[in-house]
Amino acid sequence: MAYAAGGGKRLRGFLALEGARLCGVAERNALWPAAAIEAVHAYSLVHDDLPCMDDDDLRRGQPTVHVKWDEATAVLAGDALQSAAFEMLLRPECHPEAEVRADLALSLARAAGAAGMVRGQALDIAAESADVPLTLDEIETLQAAKTGALFGWAAEAGARMARADTAPFRDYASALGLAFQIADDVLDVEGDTAKAGKRLQKDAEAGKATFVSLLGVAGARERAEELVERACDAVAPFGDAAGTLKALARFVISRES
């Protein structure tokens, strides 16, 4: 599978392209939401790596932006990437209908903002200083905002462009996002820093509740596998055409980075 050969990077952009393909959207149009979601994800990583947030110095096997340049540049680069994401969706080349462009951009603003990804980040920070570790329900709520909102947007973008039903893609992405996060927790405990391209075992060091600390490694793997099945069921109506999305879901829990 070409995606896996790429090392599992650019997952959100890939989701956008694949969802669009299933809805019959031309690739030259689908590339815009794919690039936009990667820009939002990149902005969130650059800000998340800052010393005042997660304080990471390695990302995708390279020095993080504030290490390579400086903190002010990292703040500004993230800010500019967010603006760039909206610009990409709103360019006439993205889609001939302004109604569709406005819908893509409005839904991204909601998925990325205070009710979506930023809320997830804030909940995550609050969890670090909480007296009591989070429960499983609370972690799922946190992850649905932090990761799930952008996964959902990416998977649905093609359906929005084709004015098709977004529900199968939303269900697929919500299960995939949670499986992805569980796999991330497993990787954090069992992974290899060189392959992952980022610092690992941070959560255990910080004493944070994770899917692994609550379910154990075996329990977490089992839950991830159930979620992958749920994701595959959600896109079953597309039949063989959804083969890549199904393979992607399976890949997400077997990846090493």
User: Shortest Cβ distance from residue 225 to a second copy (Å)?
Assistant: 33
Q: Please tell me whether residue 148 binds a second copy under the rule CB under 8 A.
A: no
Q: Please tell me whether residue 90 binds a second copy under the rule CB under 8 A.
A: yes
Phi (first) and psi of residue 8, to 5 degrees: 75, 15
Q: DSSP states of 7-23 as a string?
A: TS-SHHHHHHHHHHHHT
Tokens of 180: 């992805």
Residues in a beta bridge with 59? 62
Give the Cα separation of 64 and 33 in Å (integer). 25
Phi (first) and psi of residue 70, to 5 degrees: -160, 175
User: Shortest Cβ distance from residue 25 to a second copy (Å)?
Assistant: 18
Residue 153 CB-half CA count within 13 A: 31
- Using CB under 8 A as the criterion, what x/- string covers residues 69-88 for binding a second copy? -xxxx-xx-xxx-xxx-xx-
User: Shortest Cβ distance from residue 24 to a second copy (Å)?
Assistant: 22
Give the Cα separation of 95 and 25 in Å (integer). 10
User: Shortest Cβ distance from residue 37 to a second copy (Å)?
Assistant: 14
Positions in 12-51 near a second copy (CB under 8 A) = 43-44, 47, 50
Positions in 94-133 near a second copy (CB under 8 A) = 97-99, 101-103, 105-106, 108-110, 112-114, 118, 121-122, 125
Residue carrying structure tokens 């109604």 = 99
Positions in 183-222 near a second copy (CB under 8 A) = none
User: Shortest Cβ distance from residue 116 to a second copy (Å)?
Assistant: 8
Tokens of 107: 């839904």
Q: How many residues interact with a second copy (rule CB under 8 A)?
A: 40
User: Shortest Cβ distance from residue 253 to a second copy (Å)?
Assistant: 29
Q: Among 117, 124, 119, 164, which Cα is nearest to 19's?
A: 164
Q: Please tell me whether residue 163 binds a second copy under the rule CB under 8 A.
A: no
Q: Among 124, 108, 102, 144, which Cα is nearest to 209's?
A: 124
Give contact residues for a second copy (rule: CB under 8 A): 43-44, 47, 50, 52-53, 70-73, 75-76, 78-80, 82-84, 86-87, 90-91, 97-99, 101-103, 105-106, 108-110, 112-114, 118, 121-122, 125
